[in-house]
Amino acid sequence: MEENFWLRWPHLVVNNLFNDLFMLWQHEVNGHGFRQRSFKKQIKNYGLSTLLGGMLPSALTSMLTPANGLGGVTYYKLSLNEKHPSIDEVLLITIGGNEANSVLASEMILKNFRRSSLDYRDYNLFFKAFTNLLGYLIVTDPAQDGDDIMHYLKYLNYKYSSGNLSLTDLRLGAMVFFLNPMLYNSIWSFYAYVFKNEKEINIPFLSWEPMTYMPIIRMGLTPFGMAYYLDNYVGYQKKSFLVSLQAGKLPGQQKYFGGMGCKTDGLYQYKRYALDLTANLWHQPELSLKEPELLMTATGVLLREADITKNGNHWGGMLGVHNKWKVNEYLSLDGALLYKSAGFLEGIVAQGGFIWQAGFSFRMPLEDDSQTN
């Protein structure tokens, strides 16, 4: 039935809208909501809205382009018993939505790199997740103080009074997103399916038998300022590796922070069991995650302890083991044990200590399952 253009098009639109909702779930629930909950603060509810001026422009966007046509909002529940957040907690909660979609986009590539291609539906979701921050920066109105980006700039520039990071700075930094062939593949896949019925599009990697390689360069927001990431995806003998390098500079200062990390997919498999490893090392300013206290300076000015930026970077890191048990060809159970020191890492709680993760994954059978597990 999908061979007909007039049947493929509505099928594509429905998938496009579904991925809109999935991306917004990631942004609001697994992003802002996750960061809020990680600090033991409550969520009131979540909301859904249209973008680009109303229902009709949003509908046209969903019908004609892979761009997101829907928006969301997270409402925080304020309690008299809750402690006052530090400025780093505010920053982490503010950037949580875009951060969560960066993690989603990276995971989608890592989990499919062995297959060397992505289904057009997955490409569509990758596009939405990968361009979440880029799109947000493009549509941000500087006059809207409640906007995530303007809220981030307000608090970051307050934290680093020596700097003055602007929306223009972030937009210029985000131009690196356009350097990735993977971005253009994800756009092409939308139209290749509806006009040419192409369901699988290759991942644009370099190949040196038996190894494959693809770099992704992107910009991200951190509690210390803007940072650049170089994500290196390597495939070798049906195993995938993500080696990520990160570097940034404190606003208005000649001080740099950075780190590196490695994550595997398909590292070890025995029958239904699979094991993977993750490791990260960073050198960054210390986060202030405790309730701020009022301090008196030598000039008689009251400052909150959390608003005083600490000099010097601190080393930190994380190690983890990921386990998967394949129940059947559609369902798998996932569990992980990690240990990290306090510090910023995308998609992981900022506090230090042991971290337990548990969940499940569900997959639909593909037309060519000979290369998948």
Quick: pLDDT tens for 343-363: 999 999 999 999 999 998 887
Cα–Cα distance, 355 to 278 (Å, whole number) = 13
Quote the Cα angle for 148-153-155, to 5°.
95
Instruction: Indicate the domain borders of the chain.
Output: 5-362
With 80 as the cut, is the pLDDT of residue 269 above it? yes
56-60, 280-284, 310-314 — most confident range: 280-284
Burial zone of 365 (CB within 10 Å; 0-12 exposed, 13-18 middle, 19+ buried):
exposed
Of residues 220 and 210, which shows the higher confidence score?
220
Cβ–Cβ < 8 Å for 3, 51: no
Cα–Cα distance, 320 to 189 (Å, whole number) = 35
Centre a 10 Å sphere on the Cβ of residue 303 and count the other Cβ atoms it contains: 13
Average pLDDT, integer, range 153-180? 92
**Tens digits of per-residue pLDDT, 2-33?**
578 888 999 999 999 999 999 999 999 999 99
With 50 as the cut, is the pLDDT of residue 87 above it? yes
Q: Residue 367 has what pLDDT?
A: 53
What residues contact residue 293 under an 8 Å CB cut-off, 6+ apart?
A: 304, 305
Percent of the chain whose pLDDT exceeds 70: 90
Cα–Cα distance, 216 to 108 (Å, whole number) = 13
DSSP count for the chain of H helices, then E strands: 9, 16
Cβ–Cβ < 8 Å for 152, 221: yes
Cβ–Cβ < 8 Å for 114, 8: no
With 60 as the cut, is the pLDDT of residue 304 above it? no
